[in-house]
Amino acid sequence: MAEKIGKHIAIYGKGGIGKSTTTSNISAALAEAGYRVIQIGCDPKSDSTNTLRGNNYLPTVLDSLREGNKIHLDDISVKGFGGVLCIESGGPVPGVGCAGRGINAAVNLLQELNLFEEFKPDYVLYDVLGDVVCGGFAVPIRDGITDRAYVVSSSDFMALYAANNLFKAINKYAPTGGAKLGGVIANSMKPGYHREIVDDFVAKTGTSIAGYVNRSLDVQQSELYGKTVIEAKPNSAQADIYRNLAKHIAENEDLVVPNPLGSTELRDWARTWGDRIYDIENGVVGGVAEAI
Amino acid sequence: MSKVIENPRSGCVLHGALQTVQEIKGAIPVVHANAGCGVINQLVDSKSTSVASGVSGVGIPGTVAQERHVIFGGASRLREQIKNTAKIINGELFVILNSCESAMVGDDVDAMTREIVEQGEPVVDTLGAGFNGNAYQGYENVLVDILKGIPGIKNVEEEKDTKLINIFGIVPYKDVYWQGNLEEIKRIFEAVGLKVNLFFGTFGGVQDLVDAYKASASIVFSRWGEAPAKFLNDKANIPVLNVDTLPVNVDEEEKLLRSVSQYAEVSEEDVDAFIEQERDYQNSFISQVVAARNKNDLSKRVVIIGDEEQSYRYAKILNDYFAAEVASIVIVDAKAKDELHERNNSDILNDLAEKVYYSQDKKEIEGIIKSSNAELILGSSLEKGLEEKLNIPLLEVSYPIYHSFILNRASVGTRGVLAFVENYESRIEKYEDAEKTSLISSFKSLKAEDKWIDISQRGIVSKDLSASRRKQLYN
């Protein structure tokens, strides 16, 4: 395989957890710092790059493939905020066809079109749909397409469950040249025990936190305007959070093969947290009575 | 750990379903798969095709699914293909055959079928993916699915025909003599005034599938006919008669006809008269078989490789006619017992043979033949290499056969079995003649100065020649 042009980073996470928002803000922050960035949305919903390109229409790679005509890069890409090259793989309508195969085909096609040779990116971000439900969704972390993956997760059990599934996929493919894990992006952090839960999860799985992103009204407002926080509220504290996250991801070379928890182990771990949260909410004081 | 199988011969569900449908006169298969699935079917069976439906190989209508049909779903492509097929081929029944890829993609083939049926076309579908099993299961699945769909598109009569019998378990192609065997079964039943739904070949057709609902009984000749018979039993209360194998002599013909008379209207006198006539016919040849046995030693030590029903049947014939020793039977299509079928022949097979194996791997089969000290192999063309390597004559009787052109030759019933007896005797005679000739020629090559020890070392007179030495001498 030819030497890879730029750093290729896959970003995974449970549906609705804020992957596209986070990825787009990272792309925008990297572009703002002067890097050449490509963001590829690997999701049939094809809305990964919306906030980078002001919600303008962009034909997806698979739409073009369906037409059967010769495809040019210009037809399936558009430059968004800061020159970020936006691409959406697209996919079938829900409930029909095979989206996993679609992602596979779209990524292959982009390589055939010499996308990376032509654009010469510093960073390529792949925003990948939800859980790694089948082989097709593991394409970006297989076969040397990316060499690092990040997972976006809140402190909710189902989000961590999805993260754990991704760890399983990385664990499987890393020994044969697949991507390793850069870290967990802790999203929608609120005051209280939320950080602690994610911290405990990364400690248990031998991974690390790439950054904490607080829940913020700035994100919601910017999205409603069809923009990233970096573009809409460049001076906000939230924009700085994304800038720091982007800087960490750009510079981080500490990649690991995670140790995913087994199903029972994960459930048991969650239950201990259930008990702890109950105690916190109800003001139960731990420890031995004499020590207080 | 998965096991390597060299020369697997059982195909896949789509392969079996396609072979089945293309032998139903009036039925048109429509394959929802990529192009290779249909073409490979023709490649593997190009030597033995008869194709009652009129479409085969590259002529089989198919969606020729491309990558875009996998990604975006292929249902609309299927709709287009069925409509186009119905426009240019005058079929009585269109059977949509699903494939691995359409099953994995999850195309809603059922909905597509309903839509086209509502437009007045006689369409049924079968949803089995290739990877669901072997070709024998394909035969069963497609028959059940077609029978399920028939009442929705054809006028099915509820009143039973007391003289009509369904015939299940003779799998087109997998029984290489299927056409002849069906004809022989037809001959036997019609001789006593019964009628048969054969479904396949020259005397079968779509109407048999409709009439199947009014039959008096379903006779199942192998495990692979159990499912359609059970379906008709559940849906139309048609009794099922399971028999071990197709009949191999007049006694078995008689037993079959007497059993069927419990369910269908058949006169005892007609059976008596027919059996007497059959017995006379069979006996008229027995003296010739005895003469042949006197001329050549026909009671060989034999290994049989084939599907369960055929292996069982040939073992019986070898015992009956030639007092042959069945060293081993290698069953290629089934296990001793599986969860989907009632049949378990392991005890009967173990009575007939010294050892019974379940394998289709060439290497394993080679080991079985070697260890059996066999003098004759009853197998398929896939054993041709072993015939040469081990210098054991091969009689090709099971699927696949590449070196013989078979139209309506039978291997069952009094007539079919006599054909097998001819082949068996001829193969042994030919082999032994060749051995004698080469031995004589080897002796002729001896020179006066040759010492006995040299001759012995050259292996000419040894009974225990190595395979390569035998080949060198005899070819």
Statement to judge: residues B50 and B140 lie in one domain: yes
- Give the pLDDT band of residue A136 (cuts 50, 70, 90): confident
Give the span between the Cα atoms of B22 and B351, in whole angstroms.
38
**Domain-located, residue B137:** yes
- Give the pLDDT band of residue B456 (cuts 50, 70, 90): low
Statement to judge: residues B173 and B148 lie in one domain: no
Looking at the DSSP bridge assignments, the partners of residue B73 are: none
| Parallel, antiparallel or unpaired: strands B376-379 and B394-396 | parallel
**Domain-located, residue B79:** yes
Statement to judge: residues B315 and B245 lie in one domain: no
Residue B70 and residue A99: Cβ atoms within 8 Å?
no
Residue B76, chain A, CB below 8 Å: the answer is: no
Indicate if the pLDDT at residue A268 is higher than 90. Answer: yes
Looking at the DSSP bridge assignments, the partners of residue A124 are: A8, A38
Q: Give, in degrees to the nearest 5, the angle at Cα B330 between B324 and B335.
A: 130
Statement to judge: residues B102 and B63 lie in one domain: yes
CB A227 within 8 A of CB A238: no
Residue-wise over A158-168: b if at least 16 C-beta within 10 A, else e? ebbbbbbbbbe
Say which of A43, A127, A131, A147 is annotated catalytic. Answer: A131
Best of B34, B63, B68, B71 to disrupt the A interface (most A CBs within 10 Å) is: B71
**Domain-located, residue B450:** no
Residue B129, chain A, CB below 8 Å: the answer is: no
**Predicted-complex ipTM score:** 0.78
Mean pLDDT lowest for which of A89-93, A229-233, B240-244, B365-369?
A89-93
Give the span between the Cα atoms of B98 and B296, in whole angstroms.
52
The nearest CA of chain B is from the CA of A57 a distance in Å of: 20
- Give the pLDDT band of residue B194 (cuts 50, 70, 90): very high
The model's pLDDT over B87-132, given as tens digits with 9 standing for 90+, comes to: 999 999 999 999 999 988 888 898 889 999 999 999 999 988 999 9
Statement to judge: residues B142 and B193 lie in one domain: no
Task: Give how far Cα A177 sits from Cα of A180, B19, B396, B466, Å.
Answer: 9, 43, 50, 51
Q: Clarify whether A131 is annotated catalytic.
A: yes
Give the span between the Cα atoms of A125 and A39, in whole angstroms.
5
| Other Cβ atoms within 10 Å of B127 Cβ, number | 18
What integer pLDDT is reported at residue B442 of this predicted model?
74
**Domain-located, residue B381:** yes
In chain B, the number of structural domains is 3
Comparing alpha-carbon positions, the chain A residue that sits nearest to B102 is A97
Residue B72 and residue A66: Cβ atoms within 8 Å?
yes
Residue A97 and residue B73: Cβ atoms within 8 Å?
yes
Interface of A to B at Cβ within 8 Å reads 62, 65-66, 68, 91-93, 96-99, 101-102, 105
Give pTM, 2 decimals: 0.85
| Parallel, antiparallel or unpaired: strands B123-126 and B93-97 | parallel
Residue B67 and residue A101: Cβ atoms within 8 Å?
yes
- Give the pLDDT band of residue A284 (cuts 50, 70, 90): confident
Range of the structural domain that residue B205 is part of: 164-267
Q: Clarify whether A120 is annotated catalytic.
A: no
Closest CA to B325 of B283, B355, B294, B346: B355
Say which of A7, A14, A180, A233 is annotated catalytic. Answer: A14
Mean pLDDT of all residues belonging to chain B: 89
**Domain-located, residue B414:** no
Boundary residue ending a domain (B404, B435, B460): B404
Statement to judge: residues B23 and B141 lie in one domain: yes
What integer pLDDT is reported at residue B457 of this predicted model?
59
The model's pLDDT over B360-409, given as tens digits with 9 standing for 90+, comes to: 999 999 999 999 999 999 999 999 999 989 989 999 999 999 878 888 99
**Domain-located, residue B428:** no
Statement to judge: residues B178 and B144 lie in one domain: no
Residue B104, chain A, CB below 8 Å: the answer is: yes
The CATH number covering residue B191 comes to: 3.40.50.1980
**3-state class percentages of chain B: helix first, strand second, coil last, to nearest 5:** 50, 10, 35
Residue A91 and residue B68: Cβ atoms within 8 Å?
no
What integer pLDDT is reported at residue A79 of this predicted model?
95
**Domain-located, residue B175:** yes
Indicate if the pLDDT at residue A164 is higher than 80. Answer: yes
Structure tokens at B380: 């398929």
Residue B105, chain A, CB below 8 Å: the answer is: yes
Average pLDDT for B354-358: 96
Cα-based torsion angle of the residue sequence A154, A159, A161, A162 in order, rounded to the nearest 10 degrees: -120
State what percent of residues in chain A have pLDDT above 90. 66
Q: For chain A, state the CA radius of gyration.
A: 20
Q: Give, in degrees to the nearest 5, the angle at Cα A271 between A268 and A272.
A: 90
Indicate if the pLDDT at residue B462 is higher than 80. Answer: no
Best of B63, B67, B72 to disrupt the A interface (most A CBs within 10 Å) is: B72
- Give the pLDDT band of residue A228 (cuts 50, 70, 90): very high
Residue B105 and residue A68: Cβ atoms within 8 Å?
no
Indicate if the pLDDT at residue A34 is higher than 70. Answer: yes
Residue A101 and residue B71: Cβ atoms within 8 Å?
yes
> In this complex, how many residue pairs, one in chain A and one in chain B, have their CB atoms less than 8 Å apart?
41
What integer pLDDT is reported at residue B463 of this predicted model?
45
Statement to judge: residues B48 and B139 lie in one domain: yes
Statement to judge: residues B306 and B326 lie in one domain: yes
Packing angle of the helix pair B135-153, B13-21 (nearest 10 deg): 50
- Give the pLDDT band of residue A285 (cuts 50, 70, 90): low
CB contacts of A107 in chain B (<8 Å) are none
Residue A65 and residue B68: Cβ atoms within 8 Å?
yes
Packing angle of the helix pair B413-444, B250-260 (nearest 10 deg): 160
Residue B240, chain A, CB below 8 Å: the answer is: no
Boundary residue ending a domain (B357, B386, B404): B404
- Give the pLDDT band of residue A289 (cuts 50, 70, 90): low
What integer pLDDT is reported at residue B454 of this predicted model?
62
Average pLDDT for A265-289: 81
Q: Give, in degrees to the nearest 5, the angle at Cα B164 between B184 and B243.
A: 55
Indicate if the pLDDT at residue A180 is higher than 60. Answer: yes
Q: Is A7-213+244-282 a domain of CATH 3.10.150.10? A: no
Indicate if the pLDDT at residue B474 is higher than 50. Answer: no
| Parallel, antiparallel or unpaired: strands A148-153 and A85-88 | unpaired
Indicate if the pLDDT at residue B452 is higher than 50. Answer: yes
| Other Cβ atoms within 10 Å of A3 Cβ, number | 4
Statement to judge: residues B149 and B184 lie in one domain: no
Boundary residue ending a domain (B153, B188, B222): B153
Average pLDDT for B180-205: 97
* E runs forming strands in chain A: 7-13, 37-42, 77-79, 85-88, 123-128, 148-153, 180-189, 209-214
The nearest CA of chain A is from the CA of B239 a distance in Å of: 42
| Parallel, antiparallel or unpaired: strands A77-79 and A37-42 | unpaired
- Give the pLDDT band of residue B464 (cuts 50, 70, 90): very low
Indicate if the pLDDT at residue B458 is higher than 60. Answer: no
CB contacts of B68 in chain A (<8 Å) are 65-66, 68
B116: CB partners within 8 A, 6+ apart: B79, B82, B83, B86, B123
Packing angle of the helix pair A157-173, A263-281 (nearest 10 deg): 150
Q: Give, in degrees to the nearest 5, the angle at Cα B470 between B464 and B475.
A: 160
The model's pLDDT over A48-80, given as tens digits with 9 standing for 90+, comes to: 999 999 988 899 998 888 877 788 999 999 999
Bigger pLDDT: A3 vs B68 = B68
Statement to judge: residues B25 and B101 lie in one domain: yes
Bigger pLDDT: B288 vs B220 = B220
Structure tokens at A156: 């909710």
Phi, psi at B67, each rounded to 5°: -60, -35
Residue B79, chain A, CB below 8 Å: the answer is: no
Average pLDDT for B276-289: 91
The model's pLDDT over B50-73, given as tens digits with 9 standing for 90+, comes to: 677 788 777 889 999 988 898 888
CB contacts of B106 in chain A (<8 Å) are 96-98
Q: Clarify whether A45 is annotated catalytic.
A: yes
CB contacts of B73 in chain A (<8 Å) are 92, 96-98
Residue with tokens 């799998």: B171
Statement to judge: residues B123 and B198 lie in one domain: no
Bigger pLDDT: B225 vs B454 = B225
B142: CB partners within 8 A, 6+ apart: B16, B17, B20, B21, B95, B97, B126, B128
Task: Give how far Cα B84 sits from Cα of B51, B56, B116, Å.
Answer: 21, 17, 12
- DSSP-derived 3-state class of residue A211: strand
**Domain-located, residue B23:** yes
The model's pLDDT over B295-307, given as tens digits with 9 standing for 90+, comes to: 878 889 999 999 9
CB A45 within 8 A of CB A195: no
Task: Label residue A48 exposed, middle or buried (CB < 10 Å: 0-12, 13-18, 19+).
Answer: buried
Q: Clarify whether A254 is annotated catalytic.
A: no
Residue A68 and residue B73: Cβ atoms within 8 Å?
no
- Give the pLDDT band of residue A140 (cuts 50, 70, 90): confident
